[in-house]
Amino acid sequence: MAENAIRMEAAAAGDPAQACPISPVVDIVFSRWTTPILWTLHTHGRQRFVELQRQIAVITPKVLTQRLRQLERDGLIVRTHHPEVPPRVEYEISELGRSLAPLFAHLADWATANLDKVEQARHDHDAAPAR
């Protein structure tokens, strides 16, 4: 009971993480490039930087580097450095990252079932007379 009261106070104070307990997860997993990186590593397995960059063609090297570092920090991917000449670095999804697979599968199912409805709703909204 006291925990709910604290959560309600925090929500009233404008703390979105307390108002919605999944907000921190959304911030971690659904940032602009995180989902394509995790999806690619889950689907294609271990990848080198250049392979990832090819798979996600529209991402810049700088942004890919930043996101990979953050995902490694969050424990969602594992970076393996092979000390050879030339040096080789590979990235793979971690067990923690793999635990997101059911969530991604549900979202993919939802997308298949509903994105056309979202597109139709947008079309209907945009075609309606201005309010």
Q: Where are the domains of the chain?
A: 2-127
Domain 2-127 classification at class level? mainly alpha
31 half-sphere exposure, CB direction, 13 A CA radius: 15
- Which residues, in sequence order, are CB contacts of 127 under 8 Å at separation 6+? none
Q: What pLDDT is attached to residue 69?
A: 96
Between 104 and 5, where is the model more confident?
A: 104
> What's the average model confidence in pLDDT over 44-51?
95
Q: What is the pLDDT of residues 95-121, one digit of tens each?
A: 999 999 898 899 899 999 999 999 999
Entry pTM: 0.75
Alpha-carbon distance of 103 to 11, in angstroms, equals 25
Q: What pLDDT is attached to residue 25?
A: 86
Q: What pLDDT is attached to residue 10?
A: 54
> What's the average model confidence in pLDDT over 19-33?
85
Q: State the burial class of residue 13 (Cβ atoms within 10 Å of its Cβ: 0-12, 13-18, 19+).
A: exposed
Find where tokens 């930043």 sit.
66
Give the phi and the psi of residue 57 in degrees, each rounded to 5. -60, -30
Q: What pLDDT is attached to residue 20?
A: 87
Query: Quick check: 68 and 48 in contact, CB under 8 A?
Result: no
